[in-house]
Structure 1
Amino acid sequence: MGKLVVLKLGQGNLNTGFSVTLQISSEGEHPYFESNGQLPPAPELAVAYTQWQISYRHSLQGNLRITFPQTQVTNISKRDLFPECDRLSFQLHKQVNLWLNSPQFRPLKEQLLEKLNTEESIRILLQTEDNQLRRIPLHLWDFFERYPQAEMALSSNNYERKSKSQPPKSHVKILAILGDSTGINIQKDRVLLEQLPNAEVTFLVEPQRQLLNDELWLQEWDILFFAGHSFTKSETEIGYFHINSTDSLTITELKNALVKAIAQGLQLAIFNSCDGLGLATNLADLHIPQMIVMREPVPDKVAQEFLKNFLTEFSDGKPLYQSVREARMKLQGLENDFPCASWLPVICQNPAEIPP
């Protein structure tokens, strides 16, 4: 039986630090261990992340599943920016480990090392409302090198389990939205989904809002998939996804239909598109069980490779978290051309639900 680790962060930010409550339980059971601790102020981590993010986004202009404002486009060759992005990624990696291995947090880390087995499956939920911290790739913590079957997910401090009746099914029903494809190739996403065994996939290609709304209401879906352009407005943390070449939607604009879909058994939403944490935060408010998003703008090739690797692992019967971890780590093979590709995919989890 796998283990569930919850790191619940109290009020705070990287400039003030956080109180931390650690809980450990066997999967599906009440916690058998709880302890309290602290994460110290880490302004250097905040600076390292901001510097890396700026360099990363400049290095990847073009061929992304996002549209940047024109003011962000530069004449600098993205190839020239790779060494700077690599240097700043090293600094961010270093600052993540300095923070999570700090003396203030060490007692909780030692309790994790004492109580967890390196051979067991481990889900680690980071419960925080701090938007900047949710963006930082904390899977760079050296703890994960010791635990090859551990994967971190983001979750909210506010959650609820929605009761739903789900009779056994012989196949998985997927609603796949293929949105605005300007400048990218999302037909590869379609081919990969069409090859899935034991799956019934309905494709909506650049749909109008009314059609998407109706499909969510009319049928019982297990998985909602989106490929296309998306982005998060940093000042509001609201996510937008372009369902066609002229229309973008927020989660709020589909709220009633999504609430209905979740009540009818929707288990997983996958946004194989850019900068999806805003969408994940907004969808978590509706208490969906699980989501997979990209924490930053994602190159087209990286999105395609992640989907291919994830579907291969997941359709072979591996647990969701293991499938995401392996698919994410395989992206390192693309990092000569796409820096930090393996940092991008992240699970967002409703703590009240147990993933497949």
Structure 2
Amino acid sequence: MSRLVVLSLGQGNLRDGCATVTAQVGEASNPYHMKISASLPAAPKILELYQNWQALYYAFYQRLSCWRNSVETDDYLEISEVGLTHVSEADILKLSQKLSKRLNTWLDSKEFRKIDRQLRTQLKPSDEIRFIIETNDPLLRRLPWHLWEFFEDYPYGEVALSATEYQNTNKLPINHRKYQLKILAIFGNAQGIDISHDRMFLEKLSHRAEIKFSVSNTNILCFLD
């Protein structure tokens, strides 16, 4: 089943927390089937870990880029930033794991646990879930939401980000007739066979498809276009 979950973090942020968090659960045809309210506490440690991870990541790949350029041009470039010249992939991985652990601890807080538990009662592991996170805070948007342990139990969940306020753009009307299904039904020798029911069945589809009937000496054939 295809499900839709919209998690709105309101006007909150990592430094002050999210005082009002809502989760709406539904389907494509009924996106407001259920609404749950909770909150999230302040998480300055996540902010600190993310900023440190970002600094290490940039330093590592800047050094790697400079090294590659020096090899190509035979010039030696030295990065003088103290403490960042010996950054390794292992350091980045270690900090990434800390960030992931801290993120999951935050989302498992007692203030937010109500939403997590209610979502699990409404969703099945086999569901295809479109999970939209609404926030205007740039740092909340950059968090690795896909590492939330919730998605380990729902492998068909897909995370997307959205602003808290938006409006649907006007769409041009679609000419459904142009893309209508076409059926060519060829009726063959009807001796000893009652084909009237087959014809009636196809005629019932006339509001959904363009149907043409033809007579042949062969058996009944249907071609879809």
Return the TM-score normalized by structure 2.
0.66
Partner of 2:155: 148
Paired with 1:30 and 1:89, the residues of 2 have a C-alpha distance of 34
What root-mean-square deviation, in Å, do the aligned CA atoms of Structure 1 and Structure 2 show?
A: 2.4
1:61-80 to structure 2, matched below 5 A, reads 61=62, 74=79, 80=87
Q: Secondary structure of 2:131's partner?
A: strand
Equivalent residues of 1:49, 1:92 under 8 A apart: yes
Paired with 2:80 and 2:94, the residues of 1 have a C-alpha distance of 21
Q: CA deviation at 1:148?
A: 0.6
Equivalent residues of 2:3, 2:26 under 8 A apart: yes
Partner of 1:5: 5
Paired with 1:80 and 1:51, the residues of 2 have a C-alpha distance of 12
Partner of 1:45: 46
Q: Which amino acid aligns with 1:49?
A: Y
Higher-RCO chain (CA-CA 8 Å, sequence separation at least 6): 2
Paired with 2:61 and 2:29, the residues of 1 have a C-alpha distance of 41
Partner of 1:116: 123
Consecutive unaligned residues of structure 1, counting only runs of 5 or more, are 64-72, 171-356
Paired with 1:162 and 1:100, the residues of 2 have a C-alpha distance of 33
Paired with 2:94 and 2:31, the residues of 1 have a C-alpha distance of 43
Partner of 1:20: 21
Larger Rg, first or second structure (1 or 2)? 2
Q: Deviations over 1:32-76 (max 9, x none)?
A: 10011001111111111111111111122256xxxxxxxxx8368
Q: Which amino acid aligns with 1:11?
A: Q
Consecutive unaligned residues of structure 2, counting only runs of 5 or more, are 66-77, 180-225
Q: Deviations over 1:70-127 (max 9, x none)?
A: xxx8368988421211111111011110111111111110001111010010011110
Q: Secondary structure of 1:151's partner?
A: strand
Q: CA deviation at 1:28?
A: 3.2
Equivalent residues of 1:45, 1:95 under 8 A apart: yes
Q: Secondary structure of 1:6's partner?
A: strand
Equivalent residues of 1:15, 1:43 under 8 A apart: yes
% identity of equivalent residues: 37
Paired with 2:24 and 2:136, the residues of 1 have a C-alpha distance of 18
Paired with 1:78 and 1:87, the residues of 2 have a C-alpha distance of 17
Paired with 1:28 and 1:75, the residues of 2 have a C-alpha distance of 57
Equivalent residues of 1:6, 1:127 under 8 A apart: yes
Instruction: State whether structure 2 residue 67 is matched by structure 1 residue 60.
Output: no
Partner of 2:206: none
Equivalent residues of 2:59, 2:87 under 8 A apart: no
Instruction: State whether structure 2 residue 96 is matched by structure 1 residue 86.
Output: no
Partner of 2:107: 100
Q: Which amino acid aligns with 1:74?
A: I
Provide the aligned length of Structure 1 versus Structure 2.
Answer: 162
- Quickly say closer, same or farther: Cα 1:78–1:153, change in 2 above 3 A: farther
- Quickly say closer, same or farther: Cα 1:53–1:32, change in 2 above 3 A: same
1:68-217 to structure 2, matched below 5 A, reads 74=79, 80-165=87-172, 166-167=174-175
Paired with 1:78 and 1:119, the residues of 2 have a C-alpha distance of 46
Equivalent residues of 2:8, 2:22 under 8 A apart: yes
Paired with 2:52 and 2:8, the residues of 1 have a C-alpha distance of 27
Q: Deviations over 1:10-34 (max 9, x none)?
A: 2221121102011001123231100
